[in-house]
Structure formats: structure tokens, C-alpha cells
């Protein structure tokens, strides 16, 4: 059991920091990561059979994706087995990707199926392959399983999150590149209390629960371990005995968050039941792709809800033609405006996720966690690190990675005003686990002050 009094003892060592952040092939975390499905592209980036191939960099590997004549997705090592030029330059034709250098052609399994530069007696195409990773499309996203060696073929069941099962009319998905290690982005994203500071506006805050969140600055954090990772809640005491504003979340191994946003629409004319989340996917050790998704369980999303200007995402902020890099980035100080910071917003930076990118990138490419001083509200951050380090060991010992199963398929995140000291899990579990779920009421709790 860990509580705030012990957080100084849970600071990572420099060695642990290396272990938990590096994701290249053969690294301990890289091996764990490769046991889960990775979102690599939007389906719309490969819009039709035989369309242009697309480069993908993920977990420190350079890959090329294409949709073949039959509509199937291929995800191959980027470089031709022959003389190693990029297959991204290739011709996507007749169920294969053909290298423009000498015409060697590969199907979606990575098998070389044509070697037209040699006479038949010198042809050895049957013995030539490039690495190919299995893929699937779910929720308008192309997912890859990159397990290799002993992990090859051990892919978990599909990443069938509730959001991936929504019709297009009810679902919005976007992404942006972030120029820092994936873990510090994830940690900042699962940190509930930062929203009350980093994202605060002076006066004229947003309506409903989102506004309440921005006003109350201190919170009690509690984490309940679950088969997929953990459920957690931040409780912000309200003034005048009005109870607690409780926001719940899920952390799903290895880099998913599900968070409540019902309060965003609380005061609008049309109430919608919406849920949101992120995925912080390692591009390499120094870059990550942050995927954003939200969906409505009742009415379809409208244009306003798909406009991501408020969030600092979408075409005004993110350059889809340049690897989804933000126009505002470390090179131009994220556009910080000191006048705005004095009078209008806490950060002086426009856009919620742009604010997130700034504080996360400003830590440097890989933050050195051995110099931190964690506090009570870092409970979720601490718990994620512990789970990841334990899972690295489990996989290194030949065990099955936690959460590579179906335990997260039907989980939801809820926010609500609750009576002070109510047990949020007791109060909300029927909504958080609408199809039933693990008995988290008795699960180990981190951070509860008994
Ligand atoms: Fe944030």
C-alpha cells in the first residue's frame, strides 16, 4: 500500500528511468510495447486500393504502409531487401509494392513475389522477404502488432475499445506529434490536477463541471488497480458543503487513457453523453504520437464538436503535411504570449493540448525522473510507472503482459458531483462498468486516506 507519505521513496532511479522510457527493438520496454496493438495510421490515410504508400515511424522502426489492390493493408520494413532503398518510393500495383530501383515487388506478408531484374535461372525471390507486421482496422484506425521473435503471432484480441465501435457520425479521432518521450506525455495526460492550473482561464471559465474543475485547485487522488491497468478518480472538495466534484478515468496498458467529459456539455441546451481519451504512442525514444478521440453515446457529434480549435488540435494547430507536427513548438516557444498570461490564461499559450505539448516538451526529450519530488496528486503517475515496470519484468520472465485481453472492452469514465467522502467506485461502478466488471470495490486502493 502506498500513500502520499511514501512518495519520496517511489522516485525512479536513473536506471529505471532508462528502462521504462526506451522502446527500440530489444529494449525491455520495447519488448513489452510490442505485445500490444499499436495505432499507426488513420484508415483515411490509405483511402483506397493501390493508393500512395505512407511512411510510418513507430517504436523506433521505419516502416511503410500500403493498401493493396484487394484493399488489404500491408505494413513492411521501409527498406527493400535488395539494395535497401525506401519502398515508400515504390509503385503500389497488382497486390504488391514494387521497388522503383530494380522492380522487386513485395506482397502484404513481406514476401518477394517478383524479381524482374534477373533472368529466370538467377531468380531467388522465394527466399527473399522483408519484415511485415499484421494489421487490422478498427474505429477508423489502422493498428499493428509488432511482436517479433518469441512474441511473433502472440497478438492479443483486437483493441476493441468502446470508442472503436462507434459509427463515424458519433466518433472523432485526431492526432498530433509531440517532440518528447511518450511516457512523460502519458504521465502528464493522466495527471488530473494539472487541468486546474495549466488549462485555467481567468474569469469566464467554461460552464458546468469543466468550469468547476478549473476553479478548485486541490484534489484527492485514488487509484483502484484493475485487470487492464487501473481506474482512478480525482475528488475536488466544493465550497459550502456542496460535496465533491469527482472525475473518474481509466488507465489501460500500456498507453491508453479514458476520461470523463460529460461535464463539458452540462449547461448546453442539448445534453450528450460523451467520453474521451488519448493514446500516447512511441514514435521513437524522443517523439510520440498523441491520438485524441471522443464519442457520443446518443446524439451524433456536430461541427462545433469536431472543431478542435479549443483543444489546440486540428488544421489550425497541427501540420498534417509535416508528420502532424505542431506549428507552435519548442522552436518558437509554443507561441507563449506573456500579456495573455498576465491577464487571461494561466499559461499564456493557446489551446488545451498545445498547453500540454508545451509543458511536456519543455521537460526535454526524456525527463530525468530521479530528480523529481512527487506529491499526493501524482498517485496515478506513480501507479502507471509501477505497473509498467512490473509488466516489463513479467514479459522478460516469459509471462503474459497484463491487459492484453478483453477486460477493457466496455469500460467508461464518468464525472459527477457526489456527497463528500462518498465512495466513488461504489457510487459510479454501474456506469463505469455498464456490462459488469471486476470487483474493484475490494481491489487494492492506492492513495486512500483511511
Ligand atoms: Fe492537459
252 C-alpha to ligand 1 centroid (Å) = 18
Q: What is the DSSP string of 158-193?
A: P---GGGGS-GGGEEEEEEEESS-HHHHHHHHH-ST
- Ordered structural domains, the chain, with CATH: 37-151 (2.102.10.10), 162-446 (3.90.380.10)
109 C-alpha to ligand 1 centroid (Å) = 40
Smallest Cα–Cα separation from 201: which of 338, 347, 353?
A: 347
196 C-alpha to ligand 1 centroid (Å) = 9
223 C-alpha to ligand 1 centroid (Å) = 19
Q: Quote the mean pLDDT of the chain.
A: 92
The CA distance from 160 to 279, in Å, is: 14
181-207 confidence digits (pLDDT tens): 999 999 999 998 898 899 998 876 666
**Predicted local confidence at residue 267, as pLDDT:** 52
**Residue with C-alpha cell 509498467?**
388
The CA distance from 326 to 347, in Å, is: 17
Angle at 45 (CA atoms; ends 167, 316), nearest 5 degrees: 85
C-alpha cell read off for 309: 480549435
User: Do the beta carbons of residue 170 and residue 296 sit within 8 Å?
Assistant: yes
375 C-alpha to ligand 1 centroid (Å) = 18
91-150 confidence digits (pLDDT tens): 999 999 999 999 999 999 999 999 999 999 999 999 999 999 999 999 999 999 999 999
User: Do the beta carbons of residue 40 and residue 58 sit within 8 Å?
Assistant: yes
63 C-alpha to ligand 1 centroid (Å) = 30
Q: Is the pLDDT of residue 327 over 80?
A: yes
56 C-alpha to ligand 1 centroid (Å) = 26
42-101 confidence digits (pLDDT tens): 999 999 999 999 999 999 999 999 999 999 999 999 999 999 999 999 999 999 999 999
Q: Is the pLDDT of residue 270 over 60?
A: no
**Predicted local confidence at residue 241, as pLDDT:** 76
Average pLDDT over residues 153-179: 97
**Predicted local confidence at residue 6, as pLDDT:** 46
366 C-alpha to ligand 1 centroid (Å) = 18
78 C-alpha to ligand 1 centroid (Å) = 34
The CA distance from 380 to 67, in Å, is: 39
Confidence of residue 376 (pLDDT cuts 50, 70, 90): confident
C-alpha cell read off for 90: 515504390
Q: Is the pLDDT of residue 417 over 60?
A: yes
**Predicted local confidence at residue 239, as pLDDT:** 78
171 C-alpha to ligand 1 centroid (Å) = 21
Average pLDDT over residues 211-233: 87
User: Do the beta carbons of residue 387 and residue 229 sit within 8 Å?
Assistant: yes
193 C-alpha to ligand 1 centroid (Å) = 9
List all residues 6 or more positions away from 315 whose beta carbon is below 8 Å from its beta carbon. Answer: none
Neighbours of 373 (CB within 10 A): 8
358 C-alpha to ligand 1 centroid (Å) = 10
**Predicted local confidence at residue 433, as pLDDT:** 97
**Predicted local confidence at residue 263, as pLDDT:** 76
Q: Is the pLDDT of residue 40 over 50?
A: yes
Confidence of residue 450 (pLDDT cuts 50, 70, 90): very low
**Predicted local confidence at residue 207, as pLDDT:** 67
User: Do the beta carbons of residue 106 and residue 75 sit within 8 Å?
Assistant: no
Q: Is the pLDDT of residue 151 over 50?
A: yes
Q: Cα-atom radius of gyration of the chain, to the nearest Å?
A: 23
348 or 262: which leads in pLDDT: 348
301 C-alpha to ligand 1 centroid (Å) = 22
151 C-alpha to ligand 1 centroid (Å) = 34
**First and final C-alpha spacing in the chain:** 12
Percent with pLDDT over 70 in the chain: 92
Residues 430, 277, 140, 270: is their CA dihedral positive or negative? positive
Angle (deg, nearest 10), helices 352-361 and 182-190: 130
**Predicted local confidence at residue 7, as pLDDT:** 46
**Predicted local confidence at residue 421, as pLDDT:** 83
380-408 confidence digits (pLDDT tens): 999 999 999 999 999 999 999 999 999 99
The CA distance from 284 to 182, in Å, is: 8
User: Do the beta carbons of residue 299 and residue 340 sit within 8 Å?
Assistant: no
199 C-alpha to ligand 1 centroid (Å) = 7
Q: In this structure, what DSSP letter does residue 299 have?
A: S
Q: What is the DSSP string of 436-450?
A: ----GGGS-EES---
Percent with pLDDT over 90 in the chain: 81
Amino acid at each position: 500500500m502506498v500513500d502520499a507519505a511514501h512518495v519520496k521513496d517511489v522516485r525512479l532511479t536513473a536506471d529505471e528511468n532508462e528502462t521504462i522510457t526506451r522502446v527500440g527493438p530489444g529494449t525491455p520496454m520495447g519488448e513489452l510495447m510490442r505485445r500490444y496493438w499499436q495505432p499507426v495510421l488513420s484508415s483515411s490515410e490509405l483511402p483506397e486500393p493501390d493508393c500512395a504508400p505512407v511512411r510510418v515511424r513507430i517504436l523506433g522502426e521505419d516502416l511503410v504502409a500500403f493498401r493493396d489492390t484487394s484493399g488489404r493493408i500491408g505494413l513492411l520494413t521501409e527498406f527493400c531487401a535488395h539494395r535497401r532503398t525506401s519502398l515508400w518510393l515504390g509503385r503500389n500495383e497488382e497486390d504488391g509494392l514494387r521497388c522503383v530501383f530494380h522492380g522487386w515487388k513485395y506482397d502484404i506478408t513481406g514476401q518477394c513475389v517478383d524479381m524482374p531484374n534477373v533472368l529466370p535461372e538467377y531468380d531467388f525471390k522465394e527466399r527473399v522477404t522483408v519484415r511485415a507486421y499484421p494489421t487490422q482496422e478498427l474505429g477508423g484506425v489502422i493498428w499493428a502488432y509488432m511482436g517479433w521473435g518469441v512474441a511473433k503471432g502472440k497478438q492479443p484480441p483486437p483493441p476493441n475499445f468502446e470508442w472503436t465501435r462507434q459509427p463515424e457520425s458519433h466518433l472523432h479521432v485526431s492526432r498530433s506529434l509531440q517532440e518528447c518521450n511518450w511516457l512523460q506525455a502519458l504521465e502528464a495526460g493522466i495527471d488530473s490536477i494539472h487541468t486546474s492550473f495549466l488549462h485555467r482561464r481567468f474569469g469566464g471559465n467554461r460552464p458546468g463541471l469543466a468550469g468547476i474543475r478549473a476553479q478548485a485547485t486541490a484534489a484527492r487522488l485514488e487509484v483502484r488497480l484493475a485487470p487492464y491497468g487501473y481506474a482512478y478518480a480525482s475528488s475536488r472538495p466544493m465550497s459550502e458543503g456542496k460535496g465533491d466534484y469527482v472525475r473518474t478515468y481509466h488507465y489501460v496498458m500500456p498507453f491508453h487513457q479514458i476520461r470523463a467529459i460529460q461535464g463539458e456539455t452540462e449547461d448546453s441546451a442539448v445534453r450528450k453523453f460523451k467520453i474521451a481519451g488519448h493514446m500516447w504512442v512511441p514514435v521513437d525514444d524522443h517523439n510520440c504520437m498523441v491520438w485524441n478521440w471522443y464519442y457520443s453515446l446518443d446524439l451524433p457529434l456536430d461541427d462545433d464538436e469536431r472543431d478542435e480549435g479549443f483543444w489546440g488540435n486540428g488544421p489550425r494547430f497541427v501540420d498534417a503535411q509535416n508528420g502532424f507536427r505542431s506549428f507552435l513548438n519548442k522552436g518558437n516557444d509554443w507561441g507563449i504570449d506573456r500579456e495573455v498570461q498576465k491577464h487571461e490564461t494561466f499559461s499564456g499559450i493557446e489551446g488545451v493540448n498545445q498547453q500540454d505539448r508545451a509543458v511536456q516538451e519543455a521537460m526535454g526529450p526524456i525527463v530525468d525522473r530521479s530528480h523529481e519530488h512527487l506529491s499526493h496528486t501524482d498517485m496515478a503517475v506513480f501507479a502507471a510507472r509501477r505497473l509498467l515496470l512490473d509488466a516489463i519484468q513479467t514479459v522478460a520472465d516469459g509471462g503474459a503482459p497484463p491487459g492484453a485481453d478483453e477486460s477493457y472492452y466496455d469500460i467508461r469514465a464518468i464525472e459527477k458531483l457526489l456527497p463528500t467522502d462518498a465512495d466513488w467506485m461504489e457510487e459510479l461502478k454501474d456506469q463505469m462498468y455498464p456490462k459488469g466488471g471486476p470487483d474493484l470495490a475490494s481491489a487494492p486502493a492506492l492513495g486512500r486516506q483511511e
